[in-house]
Structure 1
Amino acid sequence: MIGLKKYLIEEEARLKMIKQVVDERLVGVPEGNLRVTSSGKHVQYMHCKEKDGKYQKQGDYLKKSDMPLIKKLAQKTYDQKIKRLVDKRLRQIQNLNKDYSDNEIESVYFKMNINRQALLIPVEKTWQQTVADWKSKPYSGKEFKDGDPEIYTKKGERVRSKSERLIADILYEMGIEYKYECSVILKGYGQVYPDFTMLCRKTGEEVYWEHDGRMGDSQYSEKAVKKINSYINNGILPGDRLILTFETANVVLNDRTVRKIIESVLI
């Protein structure tokens, strides 16, 4: 559920980039190593070369005029250490990536015969069980007023705007369960009704979606900003557990934006 695979893949890519950098820098480096000693305020540099398979502890003293060589030798030692570390970590992560799956605990259960599954108590609830338990908890949303437009989603739920219908329909198409206008208490602000509440598969936590559709209206936008700040003050941060989308009279929400948000935050 944590979604470790994504981070392992990202870390493998990062290490490969580092490896490429140090491999290129280690081409054509000068022979030998650098030894750095100090006596009081004076720093001394020695160029130690290999003899009989080992580097000498005492080498040729280098002068200040040899600073370009000194820097190259120092860089060589650093790059060699980075290369050894990166090569080691790459082997470990690549082996883990071949073998690891985010859902491997859950998959043990689902790979069993359905009749055997009925006899078992999984060590962890499956994602389907978790979502079903969460969805089964009753709640009361906001009431609609007389004269409110009648807009319905593909699930047959009534929503307040065409943009909310767009979000609801895409969530439904992508198999994301949600609660519409399920209330939340924000300390220092009071009760709010986020347009949509979902469970994040990566973390198992609730994620709230607030769509502010009239940001060109100064009174509306001021109220929206206050509410967003209250979410933040309650530890519910945008991009983490809070999804925010906006519209004005001239800039409308589109399905591509909605899908990208869902893929990034919820899946």
Structure 2
Amino acid sequence: MENLKVKMEEQLKEIDRLITKSNKTLERLKDIPNKKIIVSKSNGSTQYYWVDWKTKERKYVSVSEKRLLRNVAQRDYEEVVNRKLCSLKSTLEKFINKYDIDEIYAVYNKMSEGKKALVTPIEEVDEVYIKKWLNDTYDPMGFMDNTEFYSNNGVRVRSKSELIIANLLEQYEIPYKYERPIQLRGLGNVRPDFICLNKRERKEFVWEHFGMMDNGEYANKNISKLNMYQQNGYYLGENMIASFETSQKPISSKNIKTLIEQHLQ
């Protein structure tokens, strides 16, 4: 079950931004006369009138008052929007304070082991889900050379760059499978460098690292591969991550950390 609290907190920040923006506009328009506008149609054209609050009498808005007309309309709009934004903010803040999806998992987690054995939880707790995800078995590719790069958790990879990625994934406690095969229509069986799991969203990301992008033949081959990924429903930033390097621009640990934090946490 996806934990939506982070998204709601992001929405709250966006509402705060809009309230600040609206408040600035209202401050700028605070000295605008308290007039009421009536809009009517006549012979297909739009006409604007000032209306007296007490007598309800109408007065046609002259050309010289067009700027004032716009300011009054803008102020009226901002006041309504501002009230709605403040109401939304209050409602969302109260909801976020009470929202804790982990309470659902806590019901099962707090049970004794004996009772757990009798119960099927409404949804697998994270630990069980991750364990099943990692237990997916597949035949690894062999290693043809004598280079031995092992991650901190003992996973063997093919290059120093992949070692950096693997170690950072492990540092961030991101579950991953190294070179697990998948089928791409039009390309057949391929082995992405990593298939990673965003635990919070329970969502898989394919991660490919392209290490010789200044080699023309290599670059052309892998641009075609990226296109094939896209044709099979893998899109960068959505369910796929790609990192790049050249002989002059080696892999950056900082960039790898940013990719992990943006997509896998």
Normalised by the length of structure 1, the TM-score is 0.90
- Mapped partners of 2:252, 2:91: distance in 1: 42
What amino acid sits opposite 1:140 in the alignment?
D
Tell me how large the CA RMSD over aligned residues is. 1.9
Q: Tell me the distance in 2 between the aligned counterparts of 1:251 and 1:206.
A: 28
CA distance in 2 between counterparts of 1:102 and 1:58 reads: 57
Cα offsets for 1:18-62 (capped at 9, x unmatched) = 2122223222232122111121134322222433xxxx6443322
Candidates 215, 220, 228, aligned match of 2:218 = 220
Q: Structure 2 length as normaliser, TM-score?
A: 0.91
Question: Secondary structure at 2:38's aligned position in 1?
Answer: strand
The answer (yes or no) to whether the contact 1:2–1:202 under 8 Å persists in 2 is yes
Question: Which residue of the partner structure matches residue 8 of structure 2?
Answer: 8
Cα distance in 1, alignment partners of residues 231 and 181 from structure 2: 17
Question: In the alignment, what sits opposite 2:204?
Answer: 206
Residues 228-237 or 76-85, more deviating: 76-85
1:85-234 equivalent positions in 2, closer than 5 A:
85-113=84-112, 116-145=115-144, 147-234=145-232
CA shift in 2, pair 1:104/1:231, >3 Å: farther
Q: Which runs of 5+ in 1 are unaligned?
A: none
- Asked if residue 21 in structure 1 is aligned to residue 58 in structure 2, the reply is no
Report if aligned partners of 1:148, 1:160 keep a CA contact under 8 Å in 2.
no
Q: Distance in 2 between matches of 1:255 and 1:114?
A: 42
Contact 1:33 1:77 in 2 (8 A): no
For residues 154 and 197 of structure 1, the distance between their equivalents in structure 2, rounded to whole angstroms, comes to: 18
Aligned residue identity for 2:14: R
Output the amino acid matched with 1:177: P
2-side partners of 1:242 and 1:168: how far apart?
A: 16
Structure 1 distance, partners of 2:106, 2:98, is: 13
Aligned to 2:235: 237
